[in-house]
Amino acid sequence: MAGDNQVDPGRLIGSHTPTSGGLARAALPYADAAGSQVVQVYVGNSRGWALPDGDPAQDVAFRDGCADRGLPAYVHASLLVNLGSPTAATVERSTATLEHALRRGREIGADAVVFHAGSAVDDGYADTAMRQVRAALLPLLDAADAADGPMLLVEPSAGGGRSLASRVEHLEPYLAAVDWHPRMGVCFDTCHAWAAGHDLAAPGGMTATLDALVTAVGADRLRLVHANDSRDPCGSTRDRHETIGKGAIGMGAFAELMAHPATAGVPVLVETPTEKHLGHAADIATLRQLT
């Protein structure tokens, strides 16, 4: 029921939330059942280029339902987005997809839109790729600023494939490419960082990685955390999520994550495999025990 979640304003924990069958109709009951204090949704096909219009009635119901529950909302853009691609059509579609996600995010009252940093794909294309990132993002960021719309949050990738940002230190040149725009922030994904080679499972490993993130971009750029364990070893470049504490990263790292000063007040979302009929309730409860 709305209002049942005991929201700690200093530590909001929730999950990626399904929307099939209607944004409010699907997401709000799921959030209630999981005990979510923050939600993330797709506003289109996660692996497609379609840019669907929203259902105005569902948009209003979702926005009002989130407000009633005190639930901040985030949008995750399509996983196909790659502003660094050497293929012009991909860059054009990626830009349009982010523009759509920002518009839909504004319509449903979302705080920010998350997108993957992308890849240069080809050898020797990195410099051109970063110029493409700048050319695509600056107009979107300026428009979001003028409309007081959602922020954009870049999420480092799991590595491999000439990624433009996978390790946290790569975030410094990425944000510099857009002149450290005030509407640009960071989403830190634990599984991605692990896959990219950050040994989060070593004692102090998560702490050191978050320290490095703060050194790279400052203490105020981290705006969202994706807390996911991993099925694969460190440095695998494979992004396969696992239940919190059941994967290769382990509980010690997540305890460090929740205790680190950089994550204080930053919403934490799980994107882990879900148990039938339980959704993300178990992982949310696990993380809540670490606060």
Q: What is the CATH number of the domain that holds 121?
A: 3.20.20.150
Asked whether residue 7 is domain-assigned, the answer is no
Asked whether residue 180 is domain-assigned, the answer is yes
Asked whether residue 60 is domain-assigned, the answer is yes
pLDDT at 76: 98
With beta carbons less than 8 A apart as the criterion, state whether 7 and 70 touch: yes
Return phi, psi of residue 241, to 5°.
-75, 150
For the CA atoms of 119, 125, 128, 133, the dihedral, rounded to the nearest 10 degrees, stands at: 0
Can you read off the two tokens belonging to residue 134? 């700048």
Q: Is 162 helix (H, G, I), strand (E, B) or coil?
A: coil
With residues binned 3-state (H G I as helix, E B as strand, rest as coil), the percentages for the chain, rounded to 5, are 40, 15, 45
| Burial (0-12, 13-18, 19+ Cβ within 10 Å), 237 | middle
Asked whether residue 3 is domain-assigned, the answer is no
Asked whether residue 5 is domain-assigned, the answer is no
Write the CB contacts of 64 (distance below 8 Å, at least 6 apart in sequence): none
Closest CA to 75 of 155, 135, 133, 146: 155
pLDDT at 275: 65
Asked whether residue 253 is domain-assigned, the answer is yes
Chain-centroid distance, C-alpha 215: 20
pLDDT at 7: 39
| Owning domain of residue 219 | 13-289
pLDDT at 269: 98
Write the CB contacts of 287 (distance below 8 Å, at least 6 apart in sequence): 13, 227, 244, 254, 258, 268, 270
Closest CA to 287 of 254, 260, 259: 254
Q: Specify the number of domains making up the chain.
A: 1
Alpha helices in the chain (DSSP H): 23-34, 56-69, 88-108, 126-146, 171-177, 190-195, 205-217, 251-259, 281-289
For the CA atoms of 181, 166, 211, 134, the dihedral, rounded to the nearest 10 degrees, stands at: -10
Asked whether residue 224 is domain-assigned, the answer is yes
pLDDT at 277: 58
Asked whether residue 8 is domain-assigned, the answer is no
One pLDDT digit (tens) per residue for the chain, 291 residues? 333 444 345 689 999 999 999 999 999 999 999 999 999 999 999 999 999 999 999 999 999 999 999 999 999 999 999 999 999 999 999 999 999 999 999 999 999 999 999 999 998 999 999 999 999 999 999 999 999 999 999 999 999 889 999 999 999 999 999 999 999 999 999 999 999 999 999 999 999 999 999 999 999 999 999 999 999 999 999 999 999 999 999 999 999 999 999 999 999 999 998 765 567 999 999 999 998
- Residue 262 CA to residue 162 CA, distance in Å, equals 28
DSSP 8-class letter at 263: G
pLDDT at 3: 38
pLDDT at 161: 85
